[in-house]
């Protein structure tokens, strides 16, 4: 007979697989929306990717705040490493500032 714990593990694995698929599907939707130049569809697909990433992290035992701290750490590292988008547009500095303001709230 199956134990309740076995059912929870199975359900968690199913959720993880579903979330991984959602990330891939929405990445494809971003590409399609960019081709059709539909800003609202791009925004929705990007938001869905972010949502799925947060939920996948949680299913993997990573807290939302730990995920955000890792994004901050990687952003700062990319700045230090001279990432092209930082050099060209200051994107990483802008993201780091945005994340820092959010953490202070």
3-state secondary structure of 63: coil
Cβ neighbours of residue 46 closer than 8 Å, sequence gap 6 or more: 26, 30
List pLDDT tens digits, range 82-95: 999 999 999 999 99
Percent of the chain with pLDDT over 90: 84
HSE-CB at 55 with a 13 A cutoff on CA atoms is 18
What is the structure's pLDDT at 6? 65
What is the structure's pLDDT at 103? 81
What is the structure's pLDDT at 3? 64
- Would the pLDDT of 29 be above 60? yes
Which stretches of 1-105 are assigned E, i.e. beta strand? none
Is the CA virtual torsion 105, 86, 83, 50 positive or negative? positive
- Would the pLDDT of 12 be above 80? yes
How crowded is residue 38: how many other Cβ atoms within 10 Å of its Cβ? 13
List pLDDT tens digits, range 44-69: 999 999 999 999 999 999 999 999 99
């Amino acid at each position: 007979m199956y134990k309740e714990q076995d059912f929870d593990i199975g359900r968690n694995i199913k959720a993880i697989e579903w979330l991984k698929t959602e990330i891939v599907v929405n990445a494809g939707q971003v590409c399609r929306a960019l081709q059709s130049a539909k800003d609202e569809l791009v925004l929705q697909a990007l938001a869905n990717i972010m949502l799925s990433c947060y939920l996948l992290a949680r299913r993997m035992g990573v807290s939302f705040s730990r995920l955000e701290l890792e994004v901050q750490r990687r952003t700062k590292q990319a700045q230090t490493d001279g990432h092209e988008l930082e050099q060209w547009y200051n994107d990483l500095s802008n993201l780091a500032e945005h994340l820092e303001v959010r953490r202070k709230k």
